[in-house]
Structure 1
Amino acid sequence: MDYVALNVACTGGEQAEILTAELADYAFESFETEGCVLKAYIRQDLLADCKAEIDALLVRYGVEGRYISIETQNWNALWESNFPAVDVEGRLLIRAPFHAPAPDGVPEVVVMPKMSFGTGHHATTWLMSRAVLDLGVAGRTGLDMGSGTGVLAIVAAKCGARHLDAVDIDDWADANCRENIEANGVADRIEPMLGDVRRIAGRRYDFILANINRNILTADMAAYAAALLPGGDLVMSGFLAADVEAIEAAAAREGLLPVARAERDGWFLVHVRRPQ
C-alpha cells in the first residue's frame, strides 16, 4: 500500500507538538520533526476521507501543508537513512542489521522493518522497552497489540516471557514481524496474529503492551481490560501529554488502577493494572 507524507512548516517545537496532537485524531500512523517541519504519515487510501478536515485544521493554525506521495518500495531506504539504534540505558540495544552490534554483555534485538516511519516513535519504543525490562515478564504470557515489527514482543521474549501474541492489522507488519521473530530466535514463543482487537477475544494475558495512538487505545480499552488476568499489567504509549488524561480516564472506567507515568522527548507512557 502507498503512503502520503504531510509536511507542515511550524513556527517552533511547541506548535509542532500541538499539531501532532490535533492530527493524531485522524488516521495518521506516525510523526516526526526535522527542524521546524512536522512530518505526518498516513495511508493514501485513508487520506481522502479526512483531507478536507485536515486542510481546515491547518488553515485554523495559519500553517501550510504539503502532501507528498511515497511508494511502498521506498520505505526501506527511507527508514534506513533515518533510524538510529535505540540504546535503553545501556541495558538493551534495539538495532537494524546495518548498525554495529551491541557491546559484549548487552542484550540486543535486531529488527528490519518493511514499513516504518521516520524517527518519531523511537522515544515510545525506548519507553516501552524500558518498561518491559522492569516489568518482570519472565514466565508470564503477554500481548503486543499493534505489534508492527514485533520489537516489543521480541524484547519481552528475550526477558523470559513464556508466550506472546503479536497482533497487527497490517499485512506488511504481520509478515515483517514473522521475519524478525525468526531472526531473533524467539519464533517458538511469539504468535503473530493478523487483525484488530477482535483477535484477542476470549484470550487472557498477564501483561499487555500497546504502543499505538490515543484513539485506538481509548476505543479498545474495554477489550484490553477484559483480556487482562487479575493483577495483570497494561502498558501504553504512542501519545503526547495532551492525551494522557483521556488515556487514564478510559482505563479508570474499566476499573484499571494507575501504576506509573513516564515521558521522553514529549512522548508519554501510562502503566495501569487490573486489581487482584
Structure 2
Amino acid sequence: MQYLEFKINCKEDFREILIAELAEVGFDSFLETDTGLDAYIEEKSFSRESYQEVVNRYQDAADLEITEGMMEKVNWNEEWEKHYDPIAVGEEVYVRASFHPAKSEFKHEILINPKMSFGTGHHATTFLMLSHQLTIDHQGKRVIDIGAGTGILAIMAHKLGASEVEAFDIDEWCVDNGNENFDLNGMKDVKMGLGTVREVAPQGTFDIVLANINKNVLLDELEIYASLVKKQGNLLLSGFYTHDIEDIHEKAKSVGFKLLSQKDKDNWAALIFEKI
C-alpha cells in the first residue's frame, strides 16, 4: 500500500481549514509542521481533480507552496516525536505519548503513540469531544466510537468507567494504531474493527455513541446512529465547522435527537444530543 505525500506550506490561519478540506476529498492523515502541514492519501484513493479544486480555492489566500512525493508505509513514531507535544484537557485529562513523562496531578492520563492516525487531542474536534465526554456519565455504560482514529475517545470512555467499549475505523493503519494504543491504556480486551458503520454493523444499542468524522459522513449516517443509541442515551458529534451546526442539528432532530450542549474551538464545533 503506497501513500502520496503532499508537503504544504501555507499561512498559519489556513492550516486547519486545509486539513478539513483535504479530508473531504479523501486525505486520511495529516502532520502539522512549522510551516504548514504534510498531507497523505492512499494512491488508489487519490482524485487529482478533487485535490486541485481545493488547491485552486485557497492558492492565493493561503499562499500555498506544495511539494508532492510518494512513500511506503513507515513507522511514524520518530516523526511524531519531533512535532507532538502533550496536551491537557482542562485539569482532568493529560494526553501524552510514551516518550513523554507522566504527570500525576491529572485524574486521567491517556497514552497515544500516533502513526498515520487522526486524533491526538491537538486538533480542536478531538479536544472538544474529550471535553464533552468529561460531562457525561460513562460509569457502567456501553460505548461505541465510530471512526475512531487513534482510539483516543474510546480510551477516554474506558478511563471514565464504561463497562463495554467498541471502536472501528475505515483505515487499516488506524486499526493497527488504535489497537496498540488500547494496549498501552490497559484495554487488551478491546480490538478495533475495520470498516464503515454499515460494514461493521454493530449489534444492539449503546448508552453513548461517539462520532468525530466530517459533516458529509455524519449527515449520511445519522439515521444509523439513531438506531444505535438507547432511549435517553447520548450521541456526541464533531468534525464540522460552527456554521454547519444548523445542518447537523436539523438532521439529528429529524431522526429523534434533541440537542443538549454545544462547544466550539477555532471555528470547529462539537454537539451532545439525547435520544428522545
1:90 and 2:87 are equivalent in the alignment: no
Aligned pairs for 1:17-96 within 5 A: 19-31=18-30, 34=33, 37=36, 39-47=38-46, 50-63=47-60, 64=64, 65-96=66-97
Indicate if the aligned counterparts of 1:33 and 1:120 stay in contact, CA closer than 8 A: no
Aligned pairs for 1:107-118 within 5 A: 107-116=108-117
Q: After superposition, what is the alpha-carbon deviation per residue over 1:64-83, rounded to whole angstroms, capped at 9, x for unaligned?
A: 54333343215332222221
The corresponding residue for 1:6 is: 6
Q: Distance in 2 between matches of 1:256 and 1:185?
A: 33
1:195 and 2:168 are equivalent in the alignment: no
% identity of equivalent residues: 36
So what's the TM-score if we normalise by structure 1? Answer: 0.85
Indicate if the aligned counterparts of 2:257 and 2:274 stay in contact, CA closer than 8 A: yes
- Which range moves more in the overlay, 18-27 or 190-199? 18-27
The corresponding residue for 1:267 is: 268
Indicate if the aligned counterparts of 1:41 and 1:117 stay in contact, CA closer than 8 A: no
Q: Structure 2: which amino acid aligns with 1:73?
A: V
So what's the TM-score if we normalise by structure 2? Answer: 0.85
Indicate if the aligned counterparts of 2:142 and 2:207 stay in contact, CA closer than 8 A: yes
SS of 2:237's partner is strand
Indicate if the aligned counterparts of 2:119 and 2:149 stay in contact, CA closer than 8 A: no
- Structure 1 residues 200 and 52: CA distance shift in structure 2, 3 A: same
Indicate if the aligned counterparts of 1:3 and 1:41 stay in contact, CA closer than 8 A: yes
- Consecutive unaligned residues in structure 2, runs of 5 or more: none
SS of 1:251's partner is helix
SS of 1:134's partner is coil
- Structure 1 residues 148 and 119: CA distance shift in structure 2, 3 A: closer
Q: Structure 2: which amino acid aligns with 1:99?
A: H
- Structure 1 residues 179 and 16: CA distance shift in structure 2, 3 A: closer
The corresponding residue for 1:211 is: 212
Q: Distance in 1 between matches of 2:57 and 2:238?
A: 28
How far off its partner does 1:144 sit?
A: 0.8
Indicate if the aligned counterparts of 1:241 and 1:268 stay in contact, CA closer than 8 A: yes
Q: Distance in 1 between matches of 2:30 and 2:243?
A: 15
Aligned pairs for 1:54-203 within 5 A: 54-63=51-60, 64=64, 65-104=66-105, 106-116=107-117, 122-188=123-189, 190-198=190-198, 199-203=200-204
- Structure 1 residues 103 and 164: CA distance shift in structure 2, 3 A: same
How far off its partner does 1:122 sit?
A: 2.9
Indicate if the aligned counterparts of 2:120 and 2:126 stay in contact, CA closer than 8 A: no
Q: Structure 1: which amino acid aligns with 2:56?
A: V
Q: What is the number of residues matched between the two proteins?
A: 271
- Consecutive unaligned residues in structure 1, runs of 5 or more: none
How far off its partner does 1:158 sit?
A: 1.2
SS of 1:45's partner is helix
Indicate if the aligned counterparts of 2:130 and 2:153 stay in contact, CA closer than 8 A: yes
How far off its partner does 1:120 sit?
A: 8.7
How far off its partner does 1:155 sit?
A: 1.1
- Structure 1 residues 18 and 114: CA distance shift in structure 2, 3 A: closer
How far off its partner does 1:161 sit?
A: 0.5
TM-align CA RMSD: 2.6
- Structure 1 residues 266 and 54: CA distance shift in structure 2, 3 A: same
Q: Distance in 2 between matches of 1:120 and 1:42?
A: 21
Q: Distance in 2 between matches of 1:119 and 1:51?
A: 28
SS of 2:135's partner is helix
Q: Distance in 1 between matches of 2:203 and 2:36?
A: 44
- Structure 1 residues 60 and 24: CA distance shift in structure 2, 3 A: same
The corresponding residue for 1:220 is: 221
Q: Structure 2: which amino acid aligns with 1:27?
A: G
Indicate if the aligned counterparts of 1:144 and 1:166 stay in contact, CA closer than 8 A: yes
How far off its partner does 1:151 sit?
A: 1.6
SS of 1:250's partner is helix
